[in-house]
């Protein structure tokens, strides 16, 4: 069998984005020897791309803001399907996490009196997003990296080795979580550059791998987002919750084709940008749903006054939650009122002076100038929906971030489900990463510590199987499977097109059934995904290995979306267009059809995913009391109201 490098750690964190780094810092500070392993270069995680800011009720820009208001907004945004305890912890702890970042060196934009500046975003009642221009994620990662280095310097002083207690393995991909019986015993992966295999033995593994956007053709997500952590959890025996909820951000670039999907930050609207159709109409006033009617302006005059006097006017409808805005844009384009390249117009040029646009939105200014030759200080942008974020994810315990059913496995950040319900509010991801990254690090370290010397051993047979699975693309097509070898790149493209066209922003029963049939065919062909050459510097091999994960998560999304016969948040059914209160307390869980976690032996044409329903935990009464009764009636299921 292929040579495998071995190391022992207390905690292994898979992913070095905001969630992974915050988890690693916490685990190391609590005394756990911690390894971080990431697919890309250290510092290049997806979090770097976050633009608008971190949501936290610090009340710097409006003194009425509190954690309770933030909690309410988050629950409303998620249409009450949020794991309410996560939403509570998140709203309560986010301010502390932002101040902590500042003490670690983060340089946020300031208010006139020197406090951290906070900006408006969709669905947030008050200006709440701490930001660094439109490059907030970059500052967040820079700060966390700086903290990692500071801890390593401390360790060097104590032990003579910078990496004795906290080590980063960059450009390494984890392909399997290893287990001993039911418990985690480590991870198996490969170095992308050399192709060498690696086993990190550890009793606690934190998944912090981000999202799944690369399964869709038009996406704001980077190449890393192939749903690896979601798939690793499934394969290890942990269920995923509510995978039907995928957020299509309303404003991605639509032109030129090479940049289609790249994000246009919500800060553009938060700072005063407006959406218009081809007739020049600010169409969002026509799309305010009943549940939000009393909170959004009815006229352009009122909406514009809100920017100056938010306490006496209602918010502009451009700042509705993302799902509402994305559907509205989709409807305008479908009705023939779209822009020349199939989007709508987003305009800041008539709303603020050019120098303000360049100062507040520097990345957007450069993005459009360089990629589309559009000067956003002088003309509108063309924008349309793009696959952006997955609300569904690993089912976790709210307090500890422990994955359900697999002792030693934890998940934090975008890979974890529950926090955002059916739709995430902008800015709530960066705060989620910090709050739950820290919690995952804390509880994983505690768990590893509690085991003392009773650590689960690594099962050698599992290591061999993982190595065989990883090497399979080099022999695919030669091993007796019917049909010629398949090009992994072509399979990626076909999968992305299938998900985009058939399980995208507006969903229909027949199309989702067609998607499931298409996925079954792709699974069969993916068994023959073959590559040439060897393990060094072989991107085709990496693509072939990503396919397993993309196919698994795509099947989860399609199956759950077919099952949920209502429209809620990031899940819109044309054949069931209304939100149905009877679905409010239903979670859909996806688990592996073959509970042994073996995919290789299973017939790939057969469904890999089993779907079950569970009832959500009733919302705690003191949290329910934060809402008006009339509002709850719009959301809660009949029996919940009765209770
Ligand atoms: P990531 O930052 O994506 O990190 C994932 C890590 O896992 C990476 O290091 C990756 O290499 C690693 N990884 C993945 N698979 C493997 C594997 N198999 N083996 C080893 N390592 C692996 N949210 C906000 O709150 N505010 C914003 O303003 C905002 N703006 C955004 C702008 C854009 C363009 C995008 C795309 C998203 C934005 N978001 C924003 C969302 C937010 O950035 C993400 O949800 C968040 O950064 C995810 O962080 P994470 O730590 O969960 O994962």
Better-scored residue on pLDDT, 416 or 453:
416
Residue whose token pair is 């050019």? 354
pLDDT at 1: 56
Sheet hosting strand 274-276, strand order edge to edge: 246-253, 381-390, 344-347, 274-276
- Active-site pick, 124, 131, 192, 269: 269
List of residues 6+ apart from 510 with CB closer than 8 A = none
Mutation pick for ligand 1 pocket among 98, 138, 210 (CB with most ligand atoms within 8 Å)? 210
pLDDT over threshold 60, residue 479 = no
Q: What is the mean pLDDT of residues 363-392?
A: 94
Q: What is the pLDDT of residues 325-339, one digit of tens each?
A: 999 999 999 899 999
pLDDT over threshold 90, residue 189 = yes
pLDDT over threshold 90, residue 51 = no
Better-scored residue on pLDDT, 495 or 321:
495
pLDDT at 270: 86
pLDDT at 640: 82
Is 249 among the catalytic positions?
A: yes
Rg (the chain; Cα; Å): 24
Alpha-carbon span 418 to 241, nearest angstrom: 7
- Active-site pick, 33, 46, 249, 573: 249
Report the nearest atom of ligand 1 relative to the CA of 38.
21
Q: What is the mean pLDDT of residues 564-589?
A: 95
pLDDT over threshold 80, residue 601 = no
Q: What is the mean pLDDT of residues 162-169?
A: 98
pLDDT at 3: 66
pLDDT over threshold 60, residue 143 = yes
Better-scored residue on pLDDT, 640 or 517:
517
Q: Closest Cα to residue 4, out of 207, 229, 191, 181? A: 191
Report the nearest atom of ligand 1 relative to the CA of 266.
28
pLDDT over threshold 90, residue 583 = yes
Is 517 among the catalytic positions?
A: no
Ligand 1 pocket, residue 266 CB under 6 Å? no
Q: What is the mean pLDDT of residues 245-254?
A: 94
Alpha-carbon span 498 to 617, nearest angstrom: 34
pLDDT at 604: 80
Q: Across the chain, what does the average pLDDT equal?
A: 94
Q: What is the mean pLDDT of residues 171-176?
A: 97
Model ipTM value = 0.99
**What is the 3 state secondary structure string of 459-495?**
CHHHHHHHHHHHHHHHHCCCCCCCCCCECHHHHHHHH
pLDDT at 59: 96
Ligand 1 pocket, residue 392 CB under 6 Å? no
Q: What is the mean pLDDT of residues 511-535?
A: 94
pLDDT at 311: 87
Report the nearest atom of ligand 1 relative to the CA of 172.
20
**The tokens of 472 are what?**
């399979």
Please tell me the pTM assigned to this model: 0.94
pLDDT over threshold 80, residue 480 = no
Residue whose token pair is 């006054």? 305
Ligand 1 pocket, residue 414 CB under 6 Å? yes
pLDDT over threshold 60, residue 53 = yes
Q: What is the pLDDT of residues 20-44, one digit of tens each?
A: 999 999 999 999 999 999 999 998 8
Question: How many other CB atoms are found less than 10 A from the CB of residue 293?
Answer: 10
**The tokens of 447 are what?**
């768990």
Mutation pick for ligand 1 pocket among 24, 50, 205, 265 (CB with most ligand atoms within 8 Å)? 50
Report the nearest atom of ligand 1 relative to the CA of 210.
53
Ligand 1 pocket, residue 140 CB under 6 Å? no
221 C-alpha to center of ligand 1: Å? 8
Report the nearest atom of ligand 1 relative to the CA of 549.
18
94 C-alpha to center of ligand 1: Å? 18
Q: What percent of the chain has pLDDT over 90?
A: 85
267 C-alpha to center of ligand 1: Å? 18
Ligand 1 pocket, residue 389 CB under 6 Å? yes
Ligand 1 pocket, residue 235 CB under 6 Å? no
pLDDT over threshold 90, residue 637 = no
pLDDT at 598: 65
Q: What is the pLDDT of residues 409-429, one digit of tens each?
A: 999 999 999 999 999 999 999
Ligand 1 pocket, residue 53 CB under 6 Å? yes
Q: What percent of the chain has pLDDT over 70?
A: 98
The answer to whether residues 522 and 497 touch, using CB atoms and an 8 Å cutoff, is: no
414 C-alpha to center of ligand 1: Å? 7
pLDDT over threshold 90, residue 596 = no
Packing angle between helix 18-29 and helix 136-159, nearest 10 degrees? Answer: 30
């Amino acid at each position: 069998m292929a040579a495998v490098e071995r190391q022992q750690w207390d905690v292994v964190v898979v992913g070095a984005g905001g969630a992974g780094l915050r988890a690693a810092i916490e685990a190391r500070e609590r005394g756990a020897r911690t390894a971080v392993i990431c697919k890309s270069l250290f510092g290049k995680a997806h979090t770097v791309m976050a633009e608008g800011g971190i949501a936290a009720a610090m009340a710097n820009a409006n003194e009425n803001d509190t954690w309770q208001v933030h909690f309410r907004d988050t629950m409303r945004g998620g249409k009450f399907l949020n794991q309410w305890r996560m939403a509570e912890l998140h709203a309560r702890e986010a301010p502390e996490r932002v101040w902590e970042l500042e003490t670690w060196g983060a340089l946020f934009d300031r208010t006139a009196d020197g406090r951290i500046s906070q900006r408006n975003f969709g669905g947030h009642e008050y200006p709440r997003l701490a930001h660094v221009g439109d490059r907030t994620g970059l500052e967040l990662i820079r700060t966390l990296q700086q903290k990692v280095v500071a801890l390593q310097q401390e360790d060097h002083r104590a032990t003579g080795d910078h990496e004795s207690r906290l080590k980063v393995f960059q450009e390494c991909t984890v392909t399997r979580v290893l287990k001993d019986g039911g418990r985690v015993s480590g991870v198996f992966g490969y170095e992308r550059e050399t192709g060498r295999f690696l086993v990190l033995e550890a009793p606690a593994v934190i998944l912090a791998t981000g999202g799944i956007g690369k399964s869709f053709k038009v996406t704001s997500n980077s190449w890393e987002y192939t749903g690896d952590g979601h798939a690793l959890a499934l394969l290890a025996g942990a269920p995923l919750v509510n995978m039907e909820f995928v957020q299509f951000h309303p404003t991605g670039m639509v032109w030129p084709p090479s940049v289609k999907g790249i994000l246009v930050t919500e800060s553009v609207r938060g700072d005063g940008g407006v959406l218009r159709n081809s007739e020049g109409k600010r169409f969002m006033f026509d799309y305010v749903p009943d549940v939000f009617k009393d909170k959004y302006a009815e006229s352009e005059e009122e909406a514009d006054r809100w920017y100056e006097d938010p306490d006496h006017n209602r918010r502009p409808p451009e700042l509705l939650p993302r799902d509402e805005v994305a559907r509205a844009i989709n409807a305008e384009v479908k009705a023939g009122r779209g822009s020349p390249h199939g989007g709508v117009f987003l305009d800041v040029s008539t709303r603020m002076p050019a120098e303000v646009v360049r100062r507040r939105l520097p990345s957007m200014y450069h993005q459009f100038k360089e990629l589309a030759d559009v000067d956003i200080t002088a003309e509108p942008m063309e924008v349309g929906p793009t696959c952006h974020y997955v609300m569904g994810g690993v089912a976790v315990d709210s307090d500890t971030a422990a994955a359900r059913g697999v002792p030693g496995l934890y998940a934090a950040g975008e890979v974890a489900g529950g926090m955002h319900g059916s739709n995430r509010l902008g800015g709530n991801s960066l705060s989620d990463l910090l709050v739950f990254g820290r919690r995952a690090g804390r509880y994983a370290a505690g768990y590893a510590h509690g085991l003392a010397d009773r650590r689960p051993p690594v099962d050698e047979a599992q290591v061999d199987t993982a190595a065989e699975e990883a090497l399979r693309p080099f022999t695919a097509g030669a091993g007796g499977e019917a049909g010629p070898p398949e090009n992994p790149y072509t399979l990626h493209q076909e999968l992305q097109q299938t998900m985009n066209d058939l399980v995208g922003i507006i969903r229909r029963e027949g199309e989702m059934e067609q998607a499931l049939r298409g996925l079954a065919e792709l699974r069969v062909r993916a068994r023959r995904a073959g590559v040439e050459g060897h393990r060094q510097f072989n991107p085709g091999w990496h693509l072939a290995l990503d396919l397993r994960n993309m196919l698994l998560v795509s099947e989860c999304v399609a199956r759950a979306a077919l099952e949920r016969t209502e429209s809620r948040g990031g899940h819109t059914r044309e054949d069931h267009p209304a939100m149905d209160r009877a679905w409010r307390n239903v979670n859909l869980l996806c688990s592996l059809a073959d509970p042994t976690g073996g995919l290789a032996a299973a017939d790939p044409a057969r469904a890999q995913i089993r779907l079950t329903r569970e009832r959500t935990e009733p919302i705690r009464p003191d949290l329910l009391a934060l809402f008006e009764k009339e509002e709850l009636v719009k959301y809660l299921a009949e029996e919940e109201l009765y209770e």
